[in-house]
Amino acid sequence: MEIKPELYKDMTEAVSPKSKSYVNIPMAFLIGGAICLLGECLLNLFEYMGLPKDEAGSWTSITLVFLSALLTGLGWYERIAKHAGAGTLVPITGFANGVSAPAIEAKTEGWILGVGAKIFTIAGPVILYGTAASVVYGICLVVVKFFTE
């Protein structure tokens, strides 16, 4: 039986849940903004405690990654994401969730073939392309410095 694209589209639309963008967009904005606000508060707290700005930024990142992984492990991040949608994809917390969630789900498969392998399903491509991009950027920087000096 061959299904024509129009029929497939109609069937998909019939069973797909309807998106309430008038609710989803503001919630993503508010929760994503709250995550960013938490980051700014942490940054100010660490600076108030006497850390230089660059060290305070590092500790802020570490804290946000830890909190994201902790909330993922407790199952709360998924509940927040259900209401926030794309608002939880704020880069550092979304990446920490994306790395820790597959590892937590694969813990029954063992430490090496489960957690060890699954933790890189998200992180692997990011590390690969991040490293490749930094090499290309470094080469460009060397070439530009060579011709400008």
Q: Whole-structure pTM over 0.75, yes or no?
A: no
Q: Which domain holds residue 90?
A: 22-97
Radius of gyration of the CA atoms of the chain, in A: 21
68 lies in a domain?
Answer: yes
What's the domain count of the chain? 1
Sequence length of the chain is: 149
pLDDT tens digits, 70-107: 999 899 998 998 888 888 888 888 888 888 888 787 77
46 lies in a domain?
Answer: yes
41 lies in a domain?
Answer: yes
Is the separation of the CB atoms in 77 and 68 below 8 Å?
yes
Which one-letter DSSP state was computed for residue 16? S
